[in-house]
Each structure stands twice: as C-alpha cells, then as structure tokens.
Chain A
C-alpha cells in the first residue's frame, strides 16, 4: 500500500549545489548565499575538517552549525545527486 505524505516539501531534489545551499539555509537562515557557495567549493576541493577560510567564516556566522553538521550536509547532497540510489 502506498502511503502518500501530506506535505509538499519545498526541498525539491536538485543538483548538489542547490541541495547544499537549501539545507544550510534551513539550519542557518541568515547565512549569505555567496558565503555558502564558497564554502561548498572548499568542501568539493576536499576540506572535511573546515580549516579553510570560508568554511571558518560560515561556522562563525552560523553558531548552530558544527563542522560535522556541514560535512554531513555535504555528503548527503553529494549522495543524493549521484544517482546511485534510485528515488533520492
């Protein structure tokens, strides 16, 4: 039996960039989009310890987010845009 969920989620699946920005904005609404994008670039380049400049700025801007939170959001966005699991 299919269970139809009642809410229409605003988080439509999109590319990795959009997914990452949307999820960070949910956690930290005041984060500037340009700062989030530059932080994503640093994560794509392999920084998973948040040592790079813009990641540090983003963490300072968003006290509710930790480095492990950002890594989690990044990995989820990457997996969900990879096509390795159907329906994600």
Chain B
C-alpha cells in the first residue's frame, strides 16, 4: 500500500509542477545555438576599472608663504567602459569616469563645475570618451568622431603598469577633447613583421554658445553684448610607429610624433565677489590665444632582452595670446576696467617640458624611476592622471620612484611610490607666476580591472 501511495504522490506532484518531470537533455547544437543567441542579443560589452590611492603630503612654502602644510589624502578613480559593435566595420566606445578625494565634500560642498581643465570633479561622473570608429577602407582608413580618447595617454600606462589608455602622448595633450579624426595606415606591408606605421589627422571644433539655444552666440561681456567669442578650433597631426612583436633588440617599440595647433576662443564672462565687492572678468577680444606644440614620445621595452624598459617624452610649445583679460567692478560705474593680463604671460611665450623614465622588471613586479623638467612657459596641458596628483601639471623639476606589484594573474596591482616636486612656477587664473613650493608625497594604491 505504501509504495502505491508514493507512486500516486509523485504522479500528482509531476502534474502540478512539470519541472519535477525528467526533461530530455538539450543537444550540443541546441546549447551552442542558445549561446550564439545570447551573444547576439548582448552586443554591448562592459568593463570596470578602479584605482584607489592614499598618500601623505608635505608642502613647504605653501602658496609661497613660509608655512609647511602636511596632510593625508585618499583618491578614488572609477572608470566604467562600454563597447558596442554594430558590425565588424563600425564600433563605438563610451566611458564614464569619476575622480574624487575621499569625503572632501562631507562638510563643505565643493563647487562642481564643468571645467575640462579640472581632472578631479568630485563624485559626479564625467564623459571621458564617447566616439565611434568606422572602417571606411578596411583597416587602412578609419573615421572617428565624438569625445576622443585624448587623456591618460603614454607614458601614464607605464607608470600604472597597464595597457595603453589614451591616444595622444600626455605631454602633447592630456585633456578630454571632442573632434573628428582620420586614421590611416601608411605602409601596410609592415603588418607582416608585426609593425604599424600610422598617420592620424584630428580636427577639434568648439563653440561657446548658449547650450539651450546654440544658435545664439555668447557675448564677451554685459558691457559689450555685441562682441562675441570666436569659439575654439584645433588641428593635430600624429605619426605613430609601433613594433609590438618581440625582436632581439626589444620586446616592444613605440614612437609618436605629434604637431598641434589650438585656437582658444574667449571665455564667457565670469562674475564673483571679493571682500564684499562684485567683480567680473572678461576678455576684450574674441580669441584668448593661439597655441602650437610639438611633442615626441618614445618607448622601448626589454631593451636587448634585458629587464629594462626606457621611455621619454618631450614637448615644445609656443603661445601667442590675442585678447587681454579685463576686470570690471559693476558697483563702481565711474571706475575704468583694469587690464588683468594675457593668457600665460603678457606677449608671446614659449617653453618646453620633458620626461625621462626607466623600469626594471622582476618576476611579478617592476620598479620605475622618472625625472621631469620644464623651462620657461610651456602650455599647461598635461592635466589628467589616475595618480594622486597629475605630475604633468607642474612647472619645475620632479623626481618620482614607483613600484607596481601584479597579482591575481595580472588583474590587480599594488602600487607604492614617492615623488618630490621642486616647483618653480605655478599656473592659476590664466597666468604663470613664480612659485617656491616644495611638495613631496609617499603614497600607495590598489588598481584592478573587471
């Protein structure tokens, strides 16, 4: 009787819940087809990177005063990347990034702005890249447009122990830029030897307008509403030669030469209050400055099969300011506007910046040394870094030593480092001024990718 009861019980249960019934196993072809359908329906790939750093800072002659400031900061960089393939000839890449200091707005909220020259925006994400690549002639001619990958370029990836993260050498430009680009291979036969010789032409337009009504131009100032900004315009020509296949001389070779021109239009009038007095700053012409720079970057990995890498970057720039920045005091109608100065410095300026670096590889880690130097008035355009501080923004001499240890099969890195900055000049409010700050920091960090 009992076994009859058990039989009836499972018969009834199978009728109520069909999953209890034994299903035929799917064939291998059915399972592969399911996988293929899944991959077709999920055409957007995602990737996450995170980089948390903490460091102790000491800043002597803080803001050129006889005061030494010491503090501890932690920084978090989070990067969320998306990639979509419409088809093998058309791909799109979008990435959002957050760079912020731990709890810096816990008590006092920082003014969060859209200033592209500020790389630490707080915990609000910004668009780091948003562009597409369209193969017009196979892989020999590719058209790109949108927010291009112009930040975190070489040699930032060497310092961080990861793959290359940007197109431009960071000394050439290291600021998010929007533009249109054509990339073309110059000698396709080199592919047979694992080498690539590539040219890249980039056009960067920009306008200053009312965002809600782009058909309306932005007046230079309230006092002169009939004069308008000229907007921005830039061109970059790059040549890149890379040998990624190991040879007896090196494991990898990369050389980039870049020539850039950028015309910066006038900024929108800025208003503020100082010591209870209202003021505004504006430009008395449509163009702030014309800037030219040439940059060169070189990398050699595992030179002559040793454990040494070598890298170096050099940039020379010329700045030709056009308009003069003016200050007006609206509360004092009889007071004439004051000349505030020209961009970087009054009159034409030029300057250079260079970086020399080396790495020594151990089994799962590497030790790096860098020396930076600048002279005269180089354009302050190396502004973004996942490091605690973007070393490229400083004018002066910098020594930097770092150690990266890779674990979890190279998907995570632990970093230790020290840098000393002998600052000679400082760029703020559009000018380069003398500085005698001496900044040093010991820091550590963890970075990983998923």
Chain A residues within CB distance 8 Å of chain B: 2-5, 7-15, 18, 45-48, 68-69, 72, 75-76, 78-79, 81-88
In contact, B149 and A84 (Cβ under 8 angstroms): yes
A72: contacting residue among B139, B198, B246, B411, CB under 8 A = B246
Chain B residues within CB distance 8 Å of chain A: 45, 47, 81, 83, 85, 88-89, 91, 93, 95, 129, 131, 133, 135, 137-142, 144, 148-149, 152, 163-167, 181-186, 188, 191, 194, 198-201, 244-246, 251, 408-411
Residue of B nearest to A5 (CB): B140
Q: Assuming A13-B91, A72-B244, is B163 touching A46 (CB within 8 A)?
A: no
A18: contacting residue among B88, B95, B140, B245, CB under 8 A = B88
In contact, A69 and B245 (Cβ under 8 angstroms): yes
Whole-angstrom distance between the alpha carbons of A69 and B194 in the complex? 10
In contact, A83 and B138 (Cβ under 8 angstroms): no
Q: Top 7 nearest A-B pairs by Cβ distance?
A: A46-B409, A87-B183, A83-B93, A5-B140, A87-B142, A9-B138, A14-B88
Whole-angstrom distance between the alpha carbons of A87 and B242 in the complex? 14
Give the residues in chain B near A14, CB-CB below 8 Å: 85, 88
Whole-angstrom distance between the alpha carbons of A7 and B187 in the complex? 11
Apart from A45-B409, A83-B131, list 18 A-B contacts with CB within 8 A.
A2-B199, A3-B184, A3-B186, A8-B138, A9-B139, A10-B138, A11-B139, A12-B89, A12-B135, A13-B91, A14-B85, A15-B85, A72-B246, A76-B244, A79-B164, A84-B166, A85-B166, A86-B181
Report the minimum CB–CB distance from B411 to chain A (whole Å): 6
Whole-angstrom distance between the alpha carbons of A85 and B153 in the complex? 9
B133: contacting residue among A2, A9, A87, CB under 8 A = A87
Could you say which of A13, A47, A85 has the most chain B C-beta atoms within 10 Å of its C-beta?
Answer: A85
In contact, A85 and B138 (Cβ under 8 angstroms): no
Give the residues in chain A near B410, CB-CB below 8 Å: 46, 48
Whole-angstrom distance between the alpha carbons of A71 and B172 in the complex? 30
Whole-angstrom distance between the alpha carbons of A81 and B139 in the complex? 13
A-B contact count (CB 8 A): 118
Whole-angstrom distance between the alpha carbons of A58 and B166 in the complex? 33
Give the residues in chain A near B182, CB-CB below 8 Å: 2, 87
In contact, A88 and B183 (Cβ under 8 angstroms): yes
Give the residues in chain A near B141, CB-CB below 8 Å: 2, 4-5
Report the minimum CB–CB distance from A35 to chain B (whole Å): 16
Report the minimum CB–CB distance from B316 to chain A (whole Å): 24
Report the minimum CB–CB distance from A26 to chain B (whole Å): 9
In contact, A85 and B88 (Cβ under 8 angstroms): no
In contact, A79 and B137 (Cβ under 8 angstroms): no
In contact, A13 and B139 (Cβ under 8 angstroms): yes
In contact, A7 and B140 (Cβ under 8 angstroms): yes
In contact, B144 and A84 (Cβ under 8 angstroms): no
Give the residues in chain B near A76, CB-CB below 8 Å: 244
Give the residues in chain A near B166, CB-CB below 8 Å: 84-85
Would you list 28 pairs from A and B whose C-beta atoms are within 8 A, ordered by A residue? Answer: A5-B137, A5-B184, A5-B185, A5-B188, A9-B139, A9-B140, A11-B139, A11-B191, A12-B88, A12-B89, A15-B45, A45-B409, A47-B409, A48-B410, A72-B194, A75-B163, A76-B244, A79-B163, A79-B164, A83-B149, A84-B152, A84-B167, A86-B131, A86-B142, A86-B167, A87-B133, A87-B181, A87-B200
Residue of A nearest to B131 (CB): A86
Whole-angstrom distance between the alpha carbons of A9 and B141 in the complex? 10
Give the residues in chain A near B85, CB-CB below 8 Å: 14-15
Report the minimum CB–CB distance from A81 to chain B (whole Å): 7
In contact, B188 and A9 (Cβ under 8 angstroms): yes
Whole-angstrom distance between the alpha carbons of A4 and B183 in the complex? 11
In contact, B137 and A4 (Cβ under 8 angstroms): yes
Q: Assuming A3-B199, A9-B188, A47-B409, is B244 touching A83 (CB within 8 A)?
A: no
Could you say which of A11, A14, A87 has the most chain B C-beta atoms within 10 Å of its C-beta?
Answer: A87
Give the residues in chain B near A72, CB-CB below 8 Å: 194, 244-246
In contact, B164 and A86 (Cβ under 8 angstroms): no
Give the residues in chain A near B246, CB-CB below 8 Å: 68, 72
In contact, B184 and A2 (Cβ under 8 angstroms): yes
Give the residues in chain B near A84, CB-CB below 8 Å: 149, 152, 163-167
